[in-house]
Amino acid sequence: MSNSEIIISEEERDILQEVMNIAFGKASADLADIIDVYVVLSIPHIKLMKTGEVAGYIEAEIDNLENISVIKQSYSGKFHGTALLLFPDGAGKKLFSLFDNGGEGPGESEEISFGLEKETLLEVGNILIGASVSKVADLLDDVVSYRPPRIIIESRPGDIVDWDLAEPDAPAILMHTVFGFENRDISGLLFLLPSYKSLAWLKKALHAFLEQYV
Amino acid sequence: MIEKILIVDDSPVSRKIMKTCIPEDRGYELLEAGDGRSGIDKYQLSNPDLTFMDLTMPVMDGMQALQEIMKIDPQAVVIVCTADVQMKTIFKVMNLGALMVVRKPINKQAIDDALRKAEEKLRNIK
C-alpha cells in the first residue's frame, strides 16, 4: 500500500488541490492589490510523506539557494498546522522596493536597514500566509487563529523546519506553491503543513466541501 | 443557442463541480479537457458553442489556450473560470477576448448568469 492510499484518497487529494488552488489565488490577489505588481502563480503541489521527511524535502526543494529568509507561522482551528514562506537571501530588499513604489524611501539598489527588510518580509508573510490559510479554513467551514510569526533571515531550512518531530513517523500532507512577481527577479515558496492531528477532520471537511455541489 | 459546452480545467474536482452547476435539464452536451493544449484540440474537433476555461494548468495555461482559440475562431465564446482573481488577470483575459470571468469557487447562480450572458452573445453573433 502506498503512502497516498494510507493518508488520503485520490479523490480527497484532488479536492484538496482545488481548495489550495482557490486559496493561493486569493492570497496572490490580496498581495497584488497592495503592491500593484502581477503575482505569477504556479500550480499547487501536494506531497504525501512522513513528518520526519518534511525538512529534508523542503531542503531539497531549495537546494540551489545558499541562504534563505523564512517566515514561519502556526495556525489553529479544526484546521491547524504550520505555514512556511521561504525567500532567497536578499528578497526582503527587493520586496521593499515593490511596497515603496513611487514613495520617497530607498529604491531596490539602495541600502535598507535590517529592521526594514524584516518588517517587509513579515508583511508579505502576513498577507500570503493569512490569506491562504484563512481561505482554506473558510472553504472547509472552519475559522483559524494565528500565533505571531517567526522570522529568520539568512538561514538554512534544517534550522527552522522542526515541527512535530516528536512524531517523525506520523503521516504528513505538505502543500506548496511558488509565487513570482512579473518582470521582477523575486520568487518565494509557500508551504502549508497541517498537523497530522487535524488530518481526520481534513478528510471529512474535504468531502463536505464537494458534497455541497452534488 | 448553446448546445455544446467545453470545460477546460486540470482539476477533475473542478470539472465535476462545474458539471453539477450546469443545469442538467437543458440537455447540453458537455465535453472536457485537462489542460490548455487538449482544450484547443477538443475545440477544433468539436467546435463548442461555449468554453469554460481555467487559467493555471499544466502543459499549456488557460491564458495561452484562450489566445490560441481566439486566433482559430475570433467569434469563440470563452468564459474564464479561475481562482486567480487579480485585477490584472481579469484585464488580460478580457483583452484576449474572454466574454467574462467567473471567480472560483463557483456556484450555480454564477454559472447560470454566465450561461445567460453566453446565450446573449451567441444571439448577437447570429
Cβ-defined contact of A25 to B104 (cutoff 8 Å): yes
Q: What is the ipTM for the molecules in this complex?
A: 0.86
B4-8 vs A171-181, strand pairing mode: unpaired
Residue bearing cell 487579480: B86
Q: Which residues 118-137 of A are in CB contact (within 8 Å) with B? A: none
The partner residues of A190 in beta bridges, in order of sequence, read A85, A177
Q: Could you tell me the pLDDT band of residue A184, with boundaries at 50, 70 and 90?
A: confident
Asked if B17's CB is within 8 angstroms of A210's CB, the reply is yes
If pLDDT is split at 50, 70 and 90, which confidence band does A92 have? confident
Q: Residue A119: is its pLDDT beyond 60? A: yes
Whether A214 shows a pLDDT value over 70: the answer reads yes
Encode pLDDT of B74-115 as tens digits.
999 999 999 988 999 999 999 999 999 999 999 999 999 999
Average pLDDT, chain A: 84
Q: Which of B107, B101, B79, B82 is nearest to B5 (CA)?
A: B79
pLDDT of A1 reads 40
Which among A143, A130, A102 has a CA at the least distance from the CA of A31? Answer: A130
Mutant choice from A8, A13, A18, A41 vs B, greatest count of B C-beta within 10 A: A18
Tell me which H or E stretch contains A30: helix A10-35
The span from the CA of B122 to the CA of A64, in Å, is: 51
User: Nearest by CB to A41, which of B56, B58, B105?
Assistant: B56
Considering only CB atoms, A43 lies closest to which of B16, B20, B56, namely B56
Task: Write out residues 62-121 of B within 8 Å (CB-CB) of A.
Answer: 82-89, 104-105
Sign of the four-CA dihedral A191, A194, A200, A206 = negative
Contacts 24+ apart (CB under 8 A), A6-13: A6/A171, A7/A48, A7/A171, A7/A172, A7/A173, A7/A199, A8/A48, A8/A173, A8/A199, A8/A203, A11/A210, A11/B13, A12/A203, A12/A206, A12/A207, A13/A46, A13/A48
Quote the pLDDT of residue A105: 47
Question: CB neighbours (10 Å) of residue B1?
Answer: 7
pTM score of the predicted model: 0.88
- The residue of chain B with its CA nearest to that of A139 is B105
